[in-house]
């Protein structure tokens, strides 16, 4: 069956189904003693029928009051999963939805969360502290990771250079399991803000740090490169790319002269670099944390490039093709599922809960390159990761899921050719769509933009993202949700030593 015929058939079949607000998979009830005791309030957002008929384009077919009420019953979250689409503004979501599902369709993860808001994401000038309205991923990541605005290129330090504790470091300190997953180098800005503090995001390994960030270099008494700081912070689960930096050699300290990969193994990390290794990992904890890096740098993307060009709107409409190298690495949804599995089996995770961040990094990277298919494929990866997070959260009942972007980006849907770089696509519903990129004279130089971005939430505590929030609010929403859980369910204290053991300890 052709793509267009298939989608028409699906649309026709939808007319014969009950017009339900709730997604078909939302009937599952939380387990005994877990969650709110209500059906999971995920929302089906696809159109009711054929979009060219009366009421056919409606996405809401009955009152939502009870659904929203069910979504705000509780503010204490045992677990928090934050899913970031790097550069995934409203335009990028719409482009992916139109191409993958059609105008009346919906993304099964991103669009199903019941609570939504808008988020500001500016950075600040390093010298004056005044707003910088178009931020980079380092400053934006620092904002949600620490609750502190900073300057572009800074990794979890304030504009004066003072380190700021991240939500992952706080979660670890309070007895929780922690995880960090990305399709980029794990040393890239978005994952790095959780475990390192650096004046310049480019100082990923010892070589660059010694040259460019000398104050932070290990040989000068600093904390070391971003890669070295990861080994010190010691998250339970780290999955992504960036193995090239672990082939660099430490310049000082106990492991001087050894590669960071050798150091990781000597410090108890389970260090992996092959896709086949992922399935074999059975546990991850502080005794043997997992550091799995599946590519020397960023992971390959899902779709082969289709780069917008001058006059591209006049070219025949195209469809995205698979990227062959993508099969060499695990998909983001697969890594997300594995991280959740490992963190829930972790002793600290079972007892006190966990914090996990997941990033689809190359929405941004392909938007910079005006690569519309690369961008769409990574938004699809993002959506698949959100589905994995929500599937777990529905079963668990005590998990907050937040889905958002770090900043907005360039791509826009337009009605015809532009002075910029255009791409012409066939969409899932048999229509055509023109996407343009116009913030640079060359396809590889497209810029971030400063428009507010969407934020969506699910689960206990997620009501705090509703309305207009700032990026720094995410830190407090996530931390306080976990704090509230601790007040209701305090971490178990270790038993006091027996009298004989105390006597022995004094000898």
User: Is 386 strand, coil or helix?
Assistant: helix
Question: Domain 77-195+235-242+295-490 - what CATH class?
Answer: alpha beta
pLDDT above 60 (res 406): yes
Looking at every residue in the chain, the average pLDDT score rounds to 90
pTM attached to this predicted model: 0.91
Q: Span 320-348, mean pLDDT?
A: 98
Q: Is the pLDDT of residue 282 over 50?
A: yes
Give the sheet arrangement for strand 79-85, strand by strand.
270-272, 290-293, 237-241, 177-185, 354-360, 79-85, 399-405, 453-458, 115-120, 467-470
For residue 490, what are the contacts with CB-CB under 8 A and spacing of at least 6? none
Nearest-angstrom CA–CA distance, 373 and 56: 29
**Hey, where are the domains in the chain?**
77-195+235-242+295-490
Nearest alpha-carbon partner for 471 in 77, 124, 108, 94: 124
In 3D space, the residue among 428, 424, 458, 385 whose CA is nearest the CA of residue 88 turns out to be 385
Pair 98, 373: CB distance under 8 Å: no
Report the C-alpha gap between 393 and 459 in whole angstroms: 7
Share of the chain above pLDDT 70, in %: 89
pLDDT of res. 62: 83
Residue whose entry in the numeric block shows the structure tokens 């059975």: 282
Q: Which helix (H) or strand (E) holds 379?
A: helix 372-396
Calpha distance 98→435 (Å, rounded): 11
> Is the model's pLDDT at 111 over the cut of 50?
yes
What is the rounded (10 degree) CA torsion for 299, 90, 124, 463?
Answer: -100
| pLDDT at site 71 | 86
Q: Is the pLDDT of residue 449 over 50?
A: yes
Cα separation, 147 vs 471, whole angstroms: 8
Cβ atoms of 372 and 360 closer than 8 Å: no
Question: Given a cut of 50, is residue 377 above it in pLDDT?
Answer: yes
**In the predicted model, what is the mean pLDDT of residues 365-392?**
98
Q: pLDDT band at 13, cuts 50/70/90?
A: very low
Dihedral sign for Cα atoms in the order 130, 133, 136, 139:
positive
Q: Hey, what's the torsion of the CAs at 206, 212, 218, 224, to 10 degrees?
A: -70
CA 340 to chain centre: 14
Q: What is the pLDDT of residue 9?
A: 39
Q: What is the mean pLDDT of residues 203-223?
A: 98
Q: Could you read off the pLDDT of 44-97 as tens digits, one per residue?
A: 899 989 999 999 999 988 888 888 888 888 899 999 999 999 999 999 999 999
pLDDT at 425 over 70: yes
Residue 40: predicted pLDDT: 54
Q: Is residue 137 annotated as a catalytic residue, yes or no?
A: yes
What pLDDT, on the 0 to 100 scale, is given for residue 104? Answer: 96
Averaged pLDDT for residues 209-238: 98
Mean pLDDT over residues 365-377, rounded? 98
pLDDT tens digits, one per residue of 470-503: 999 999 999 999 999 998 888 755 444 444 333 3
User: Of 123, 137, 360, 362, which is the active-site residue?
Assistant: 137
Q: What is the pLDDT of residue 8?
A: 37
Contact 47, 59 (CB under 8 A): yes
Tens of pLDDT, residue by residue over 349-368, are 999 999 999 999 999 999 99
Q: Would you state the pLDDT for residue 492?
A: 57
Q: Distance between CA 170 and CA 147 in Å, rounded?
A: 12
Q: 495-505: per-residue pLDDT in tens?
A: 444 443 333 33
pLDDT for 67: 82
């Amino acid at each position: 069956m052709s793509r267009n015929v298939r989608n028409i058939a699906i649309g026709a079949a939808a007319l014969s189904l009950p017009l339900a607000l709730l997604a078909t998979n939302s009937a599952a009830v939380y387990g005994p003693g877990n969650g709110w005791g209500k059906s999971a309030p995920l929302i089906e957002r696809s159109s009711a029928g054929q979009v060219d008929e009366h009421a056919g384009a409606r996405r809401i077919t009955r009152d939502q009051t009870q659904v929203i009420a069910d979504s705000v019953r509780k503010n204490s979250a045992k677990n928090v999963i934050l899913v970031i689409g790097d550069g995934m503004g409203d335009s990028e979501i719409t482009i992916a939805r139109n191409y993958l599902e059609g105008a009346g369709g919906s993304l099964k993860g991103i669009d199903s969360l019941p609570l939504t808001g808008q988020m500001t994401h500016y950075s600040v000038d390093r010298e004056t502290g005044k707003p910088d309205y178009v931020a980079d991923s380092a400053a934006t990541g620092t904002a949600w990771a620490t609750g502190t605005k900073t300057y572009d290129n800074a990794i979890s330090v304030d504009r004066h250079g003072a380190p700021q504790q991240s939500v992952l470091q706080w979660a670890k300190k309070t007895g929780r399991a922690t995880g960090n997953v990305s399709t980029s180098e794990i040393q890239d800005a978005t994952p790095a803000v959780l475990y390192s503090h650096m004046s310049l995001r480019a100082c990923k390994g010892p070589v660059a740090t010694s040259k460019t960030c000398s104050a932070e270099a290990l040989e000068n008494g600093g904390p070391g490169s971003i890669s070295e700081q990861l080994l010190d912070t010691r998250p339970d689960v780290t999955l992504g790319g960036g193995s090239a930096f672990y082939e660099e050699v430490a310049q000082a300290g106990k492991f001087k002269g050894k590669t960071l990969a050798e150091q990781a193994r000597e410090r108890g990390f389970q260090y992996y670099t092959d896709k086949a290794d992922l399935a074999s990992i059975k546990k991850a904890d502080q005794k043997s944390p997992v550091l799995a890096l599946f590519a020397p740098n960023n992971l390959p993307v899902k779709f082969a490039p289709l780069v917008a060009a001058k006059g591209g709107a006049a070219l025949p409409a195209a469809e995205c093709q698979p990227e062959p190298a993508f099969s060499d690495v695990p998909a983001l949804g697969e890594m997300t599922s594995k991280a959740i599995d490992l963190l829930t089996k972790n002793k600290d995770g079972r007892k006190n809960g966990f914090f996990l961040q997941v990033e689809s990094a190359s929405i941004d990277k392909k938007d910079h390159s005006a690569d519309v298919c690369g961008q769409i494929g990574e938004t699809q990866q993002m959506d698949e990761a959100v589905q994995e997070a929500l599937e777990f959260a529905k079963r668990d009942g005590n998990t907050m899921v937040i889905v958002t972007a770090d900043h907005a980006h360039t791509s826009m849907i337009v009605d015809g050719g532009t002075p910029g770089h255009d791409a012409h696509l066939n969409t899932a519903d048999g229509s055509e769509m023109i996407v343009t990129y116009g913030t640079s004279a060359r396809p590889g130089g497209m810029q971030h933009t400063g428009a507010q971005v969407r934020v969506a939430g699910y689960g206990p505590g997620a009501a705090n993202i509703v309305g207009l929030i700032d990026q720094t609010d995410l830190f407090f929403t996530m931390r306080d949700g976990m704090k509230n859980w601790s007040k209701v369910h305090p971490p178990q204290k270790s038993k006091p030593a027996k009298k004989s053991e105390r006597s022995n300890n004094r000898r």
